[in-house]
Amino acid sequence: MTYFNEMYDSDGKSVREPYAMLREWVETMPSDLRQMKQAEAEDLFRRIGITFAVYGEGGDPDRLIPFDMMPRVFEQNEWRRLERGIKQRARALNAFLRDVYGRAEILRAGRIPSRLVYQNEAYEKAVVGVVPPRGVYSHIIGTDLVRTGKNEFFVLEDNCRTPSGVSYMLENREIMMRMFPDLFRTNRIEPVDQYPNLLRRTLESVAPSKCKDRPTCVILTPGHFNSAYYEHSFLANLMGVELVEGQDLFVDGEFVYMRTTQGPKRVDVIYRRLDDPYIDPLCFRPDSMLGVPGLMDVYRSGGVSICSAPGAGVADDKAIYTFVPEMVRFYLGEEPILKNVDTWTLWKDDDYKYVMDNLPDLVVKEVHGSGGYGMLVGPKSTKDEIEIFRKKIEANPSNYIAQPTLSLSTAPTFVEEGVAPRHVDLRPFCLCGDRIELVPGGLTRVALREGSLVVNSSQGGGVKDTWVLSE
């Protein structure tokens, strides 16, 4: 398999424009300085306490995710195309959510099988007919992308519920700027630090119409034992809003209030980092102590906004994923700018046969799985592992999808011997409110082990600062 190396042209020798100055930077850097800086970076990360596992991968929550000092770089025109593609997808996903909780035109038109939506666990019966402010259901969309060629980008998955990792995007940049201020003086790198302000603006823009003053926004966290708690408090801090747990909020009459030292304060927008089943024991799981009793009734009557809206998860399901290009065409009348990875759905007989015949070459995932668990990477698995997985598929084919093993691009990365190519992916964070915003950059994850295609931090992945160069 050949891989696109983001640093070099196709001849493999001449350095591509965006990486030219970085090469010089690396070549002139004394090796003892590099070691010193690496130690300094780790020290900084530890001091600010950013040690959570990305994307709920599990593992030791106090473990530091390795930070690679070599930035990943995009040229302006590369980024603009990605940006258009991501925003297009975000518009289509929200249009889809509006539709399936309303008239369901796309299902009536037969473009997506009704069963996949109505029998989907993430489809919430309780919010059918509820239109959130501005018709936005998913306010923060984390789009996972991989690159396979100079102009070839694929979307691996859309995360429409509560994607995490944005604190890494911000911290990686902060640390690079502190350690290498010269790099940022001599290069024109687009900033990302406006993200918290944009996020707050986005949240405020979807306040309910019953809110007459400046909206009060809060972040609702499951608590400090959650693996992304650091990110919750980090964002609350940067946005200047309260970080609350379920017990800090209560319903009184038609609204939701927050307990404060000055008495109850009405809350208009809740950015919840809590999954649907836990947000209200009176509507969902009755045993949940993490949510706010009565919240859903207030939400459904328009007294508070919840971001993302309950039920938004039906748009990022792996079975629905295969239809996102169809959504772009159906709702926007446009051709998708970003491609989907070819996906075989195992509930179709033809696909089932193909997948079972080619397991060693494919990646097979659970429809509801995440974080690299419950999946088979054919080319990296033993015969036994493949056969065990085959049995699991046979038992419940509709629980699986399969994709070809992608040739993820590589980006230059610091290794023991100097700089070497390592495989990377990208998660930018798209904000949807009255406008759709995307800060130039995102979280780049890198598979630090040579040859590895798995970027998950639980399996040897690290993170990098991601640069978009301005004109």
Partner 1 sequence: MKLRITHETGYKYETPARNLVQSLRLTPSVSEGQRTHEWSIDVTGGMRGPAFRDGAGDWIEGWTVRGPVEEIIVRIAGFVETRDTAGVLRGHREIINPLTYLRETEATEPDDALKALARDAQGSDGLDLAHNLSRSVREAIAYAPGVTEMQTTAAEALALGEGVCQDHAHALISISRIRGLPARYVSGYLHSTADGSSHDAAHAWAEIHVSGLGWVGFDAANGCCPDERYVRLGSGLDARDAAPIRGIRSGFGDERLNVAVNVEEMEQ
Nearer to partner 1, 174 or 297 (CB): 297
Nearer to partner 1, 196 or 291 (CB): 291
Instruction: Indicate the helix (H) or strand (E) that contains 423.
Output: strand 418-427
Instruction: State in angstroms the smallest separation of the CB of 224 from partner 1.
Output: 22
Other beta carbons less than 10 A from residue 297's beta carbon: 15
Measured CA to CA in angstroms, residue 141 lies from 89, 95, 408 at distances of: 10, 14, 22
Q: Which range binds partner 1 by CB under 8 A, 42-50, 125-133, 179-187, 230-238?
A: 125-133
Under the criterion CB under 8 A, does residue 110 sit at the interface with partner 1?
A: no
Instruction: State in angstroms the smallest separation of the CB of 121 from partner 1.
Output: 7
Q: Which of residues 276-295 bind partner 1 (CB under 8 A)?
A: 281-283, 286, 293-294
Indicate the burial class of 410 (C-beta count within 10 angstroms; 0-12, 13-18, 19 or more): buried
DSSP class of residue 172?
Answer: H
Query: 143-160: string of b/e by CB count within 10 Å (b at 16+)?
Result: bbbbbbeeeebbbbbbbb
Instruction: Indicate the helix (H) or strand (E) that contains 445.
Output: strand 443-447
Instruction: State in angstroms the smallest separation of the CB of 291 from partner 1.
Output: 10
- Could you say which of 39, 109, 128, 388 contacts partner 1 (CB under 8 A)? 128
Determine contact, residues 217/204, Cβ cutoff 8 Å.
yes
Nearer to partner 1, 303 or 442 (CB): 303
CA dist 423 and 148 (Å) reads: 10
Under the criterion CB under 8 A, does residue 130 sit at the interface with partner 1?
A: yes
Nearer to partner 1, 253 or 333 (CB): 253
Nearer to partner 1, 142 or 303 (CB): 303
Under the criterion CB under 8 A, does residue 260 sit at the interface with partner 1?
A: no
Instruction: State in angstroms the smallest separation of the CB of 253 from partner 1.
Output: 5
Nearer to partner 1, 144 or 275 (CB): 275
Under the criterion CB under 8 A, does residue 119 sit at the interface with partner 1?
A: yes
Token code pair at residue 180 = 């290498």
- Could you say which of 15, 29, 44, 126 contacts partner 1 (CB under 8 A)? 126
Query: 418-427 and 443-447: which strand pairing?
Result: antiparallel
- Could you say which of 180, 184, 250, 354 contacts partner 1 (CB under 8 A)? 250
- Could you say which of 46, 115, 150, 178 contacts partner 1 (CB under 8 A)? 115
CA dist 40 and 38 (Å) reads: 5
Give the start-end residues of each E strand in 213-297: 217-220, 242-244, 249-252, 255-258, 265-267, 269-272
For partner 1, what does the binding mask look like between residues 57 and 96, x meaning CB under 8 A? Answer: ----------------------------------------
CA dist 169 and 444 (Å) reads: 8
Under the criterion CB under 8 A, does residue 253 sit at the interface with partner 1?
A: yes
- Could you say which of 69, 127, 393, 424 contacts partner 1 (CB under 8 A)? 127
Instruction: Indicate the helix (H) or strand (E) that contains 161.
Output: none
Determine contact, residues 444/464, Cβ cutoff 8 Å.
yes
Nearer to partner 1, 121 or 387 (CB): 121
- Could you say which of 121, 193, 394, 450 contacts partner 1 (CB under 8 A)? 121
Residue 63 φ then ψ, to 5°: -80, 140
Nearer to partner 1, 96 or 389 (CB): 96
Q: Which of residues 1-40 bind partner 1 (CB under 8 A)?
A: none
Nearer to partner 1, 142 or 208 (CB): 208
| Closest among 149, 155, 150, 146 to 87, alpha carbons compared | 155
DSSP one-letter string for 45-63: HHHHT--PPGGG--S-TTP
Q: Which of residues 294-313 bind partner 1 (CB under 8 A)?
A: 294, 296-298, 300-301, 303
Under the criterion CB under 8 A, does residue 331 sit at the interface with partner 1?
A: no
CA dist 178 and 64 (Å) reads: 19
Name residue, tokens 């495989």.
423
Instruction: State in angstroms the smallest separation of the CB of 65 from partner 1.
Output: 37
Determine contact, residues 314/320, Cβ cutoff 8 Å.
yes
Under the criterion CB under 8 A, does residue 315 sit at the interface with partner 1?
A: no
Under the criterion CB under 8 A, does residue 129 sit at the interface with partner 1?
A: yes
Residues in contact with partner 1, counted by CB under 8 A, come to a total of 31
- Could you say which of 39, 63, 105, 118 contacts partner 1 (CB under 8 A)? 118
**List of residues contacting partner 1 (CB under 8 A):** 104, 114-115, 118-119, 121, 123, 125-130, 250-255, 281-283, 286, 293-294, 296-298, 300-301, 303
